[in-house]
Structure 1
Amino acid sequence: MNKNDQVFNRRKFISMAGISAAALMVSPRFAFAAEQGKDRKIRMGIVGGGFGAGFHFHEHPNCIVEAVSDLRADRRDILMKVYKCSKSYESLEKLLKDPKVEAVFIATPAPDHARHVIASLKAGKHVLCAVPAAMTLKECADIRDTVQRTGLTYMMAETTMYRQGMISAKKFYKEGKFGKIFSAAAEYNHPGLEVLYFENGKPTWRHGLPPMHYPTHCTAFLVGLTGERLKEVSCIGWGDDSPMLKGNPYNNPFWNETAFFKTSKGNPFRVEVNWKGALQEAERGEWRGDNMSFYYPQAGSHQFTLVKVADKIGHDDAGFQHKANTIEAYEVPQWWKTDMLPEPMRHDSGHEGSHTFITHEFIDALVNNRQPEVNVYEAIAYTAPGIVAHQSALKGGELMKIPSFDK
């Protein structure tokens, strides 16, 4: 596989017949046609009985769940029940020896992702992996190099890319409605995360996890939309010297981190990841363009908002004249009801309807021998900026360069 084949241009839209006009306007690549290999069945292995149980592989007409795995017997039982699978393994290592398994979904703890992905690729398996891609820049490089060396398919299961509001944003961007996006912002608030720090008195992998080591639910809102890369960052962290943060394996002193990125287009992008405080849970983005802006709801609301440039002159509350742009509510379509998905998967799913889209994108990429939207280069472009942002926060907000992994 040459380099041009490996680097996927997400905005290359291929015409397909027999799909709805609504789905076509977003991206015909996601509509369920799969004529090229419609009878092919991908035999999946599912690894991780927590998060891994929510992705509906058994409903995809081009997929068979061949085997499941978890270190815990109770979670193996859950996976077997959910995916109607009679074969289970006590470890990933054992599952990878199964010659019938051709692809795996890695839904293991985040610090294990790079090691498990690389082992799976070396075993000859295609890989779908939960976020984030890696914990260090070296791991990012190692994953990329292994994908290049093996020529196998890698996809990161980034839910932001297939949220119903994000699908609408991608439609707007494709149609040029934003004009030029000159700034953006995203936030991921998960207050109360400390309840997941310990289980049965023992620390879990989440204990003290740096917020910016879990950045992809934010970074994908911009990088996944426009394709620009995050090139520089200054990040500020907040901590309160809580005893709960003491002794964490990451040596992380912060509950919350706010990063200010400069993109490859010279645009600003603000990202907040917050674990503690008077916060409402949120995963949201906003994009500001010179023709139109689009805003995810604020926490506690379900109202999406469009702001459009208008020629009407208005007055502010001090009496000064200004352009009176139009502000209107936007009802996000339920894209999961359309033929962007195979019929058995046209139902709501986790993370704003994204889980079924992730499953279909991975399976369809394998069936049709193409790169998935969130391939290895995109996955690292969402992940690596957060790793550098945390380093900046540890240095009091020092402006730092973000390396590129696109080659």
Structure 2
Amino acid sequence: MKTMQDYAGFSESRRKFLKMAGAGTAALITPRFLFASSAQSSRKVRVGIIGGRFGLGFYFHEHPNCIVEAVSDLREDRRQALMKTYRCQKSYPSLTTLLKDKKVEAVFIATPAPDHARHVIESLRAGKHVLCAVPAAMTLEECAQIREAVQQTGLTYMMAETSVYRQGAISAKKFFKEGKFGTIFSAAAEYNHPGLDVLFFEEGKQTWRHGLPPLLYPTHCTAFLIAVTGARLTHVSGIGWGDDSKALQGNPYNNPFWNETAFFKTDQNIPFRVEVNWKGALMEAERAEWRGDKMSFYYPDGRNNQFTMVKAAEQQGRDDAGFEHTKNITEVYEVPEWWQTDLLPQPLRHNSGHEGSHTFITHEFIDAIVNEREPEVNIYEALAYTAPGIVAHQSALRDGEYMAIPSFDK
């Protein structure tokens, strides 16, 4: 088995931002790519949907450039649910059989996380463009294998990371593009999902979620920083918490932790704290904080639903001890409903899962294929979100050892 040192030869060069024609709202929001929502095309991308749980929550049947050609799941009841949702008359009992359908040119992989790398590679080798649920991979070896398959086939790969297209994250992209943060000097993100142990077993059988290490599912957090700033996470120290619970015994990952915290260093010198928690008296949240010398932006912390903006100011104030200090301005920020704008084609301008992100993911994938461009969350972004969590979990197993994170960029 390869070690992280075996990946040290990967190039550290950074992808250049794409320069695309046009202006308007989109130009202010995405730091790399624009939605080409104004482009007119009659092309119809024929898509296959694989996975009758998470796969039900998207809107390919509403996109003007898409036809859902076929669906697949191992279970008949889930195939029926997919056909009903996507108004599709064709189903297959497995991914392998669906990939033989020559009419299908792209697939959405919404299968269990440990299967993602294998299913993505199989789909690419079959000549299909791929959108895949998170995370991209479970090991560094898988990260390298997916990257190689994408580069060799030249096909479109995108990861369906919801944090990139949450309405608050779209606002943060806009602020960053406009320079409103000034210099971001620290950031934090957390994903709290207590109670996942109820999904450890189904019908008496162990599921892939049994004992899943929290930091092997990092992308809902890491995307909040990387998608906004373009930073790369270069080093990490991870810490885990477990309670010797019987519920974790015998899990396929040999994972002792319910909750994990990672302290990352970035190539932009931004300290970045990430928490992924499965158990405890926690408020459910997928949230982030970006702290700058001119402005900071805070997601709701679960105690209220207010986004908060703090602006540096020269006002004089007093702290609770009576000492004078320079007082900043704190404001409630009303996040725009970006899904109502021309960032999306008209049929997709409605709210959707994960704070409005699902319609954006649907459109970004289809539009990238139609316009033959890189999607925002391409293979390099996907691995930049995924690989740091893999190394952070290794660090936690080594009592917080400070470890380097390999780069999977070009």
Q: Write out aligned runs for 1:314-329 (5 A).
A: 314-329=317-332
Q: Structure 2 residue aligned with 1:337, among 340, 343, 363?
A: 340
| Residue 30 of structure 1, aligned match among 25, 32, 35 | 35
Structure 1 residues 132 and 120, CA, compared in 2 at 3 Å: closer, same or farther? Answer: same
User: What aligned pairs does 1:35-46 form with structure 2 within 5 A after superposition?
Assistant: 35=40, 38-46=41-49
Moved more, 128-137 or 224-233: 224-233
Give the Cα–Cα distance (whole angstroms) in 2 for the partners of residues 264 and 11 of structure 1.
20
Deviation at 1:320, TM superposition (A): 1.7
Unaligned runs of 5+ in 2: 1-13
**What is the deviation of 1:383?**
0.2
Corresponding residue for 2:222? 219
Aligned partners of 2:187 and 2:289 also within 8 Å: yes
TM-score under structure 2 length normalisation: 0.95
SS at match of 1:302: coil
C-alpha distance after superposition, 1:155-212 (max 9, x if no partner): 0000000000000000000100000101000000000010111101111000000000
Shift of residue 26 of structure 1? 2.4
Deviations for 1:344-379, whole angstroms, at most 9, x for unmatched residues?
A: 111000000000000000000000000000000000
Residues of 2 paired with 1:46 and 1:208: CA distance?
A: 27
Equivalent residue for 1:3? Answer: none
Query: Is the 1:23–1:338 contact (alpha carbons within 8 Å) kept by the matching residues of 2?
Result: no
Kept in 2, the 8 Å contact 1:377–1:406? The answer is yes
CA deviation vs aligned residue, 1:210-242 (integer Å, no higher than 9, x gap) = 000000000000011111100000011000000
Secondary structure of the residue aligned to 2:120 is: helix
Find the counterpart in structure 1 of residue 357 from structure 2.
Answer: 354
Give SS of 1:324's match. Answer: strand
Match of 2:96 in 1: 93
Taking the aligned partners of 2:303 and 2:144, their CA distance within structure 1 comes to 39
Determine if contact 1:24/1:31 at 8 Å carries over to the other structure. Answer: no
1:30 CA displacement: 1.9
RMSD: 1.6
- Give runs of aligned pairs for residues 44-193 of structure 1, distance below 5 A: 44-193=47-196
User: Partner of 1:4 in structure 2?
Assistant: none
TM-score (norm 1): 0.95
Alignment counterpart, residue 289 of structure 1, candidates 289, 292, 308: 292
Unaligned runs of 5+ in 1: 1-6
SS at match of 2:389: helix
How far did residue 318 of structure 1 move?
A: 1.1
Aligned counterpart for 2:206 among listed residues 197, 203, 210: 203
Task: Please report how far the alpha carbon of residue 14 of structure 1 lies from its aligned counterpart in structure 2 after TM superposition.
Answer: 2.9
The number of equivalent residue pairs is: 398
Please give the alpha-carbon distance, in whole angstroms, between the structure 2 residues aligned to 1:162 and 1:13.
20
How far apart, in 2, do the equivalents of 1:249 and 1:300 lie? Answer: 35
Q: Deviations over 1:274-304 (max 9, x none)?
A: 0000001000000000100000001142100
* Mapped partners of 2:256, 2:388: distance in 1: 19
2:313 partner SS: coil
Give distance in 2, aligned partners of 1:144 and 1:22: 32
- Cα distance in 1 for partners of 2:333, 2:134 equals 29
C-alpha distance in structure 2 between counterparts of 1:276 and 1:341, whole Å: 37
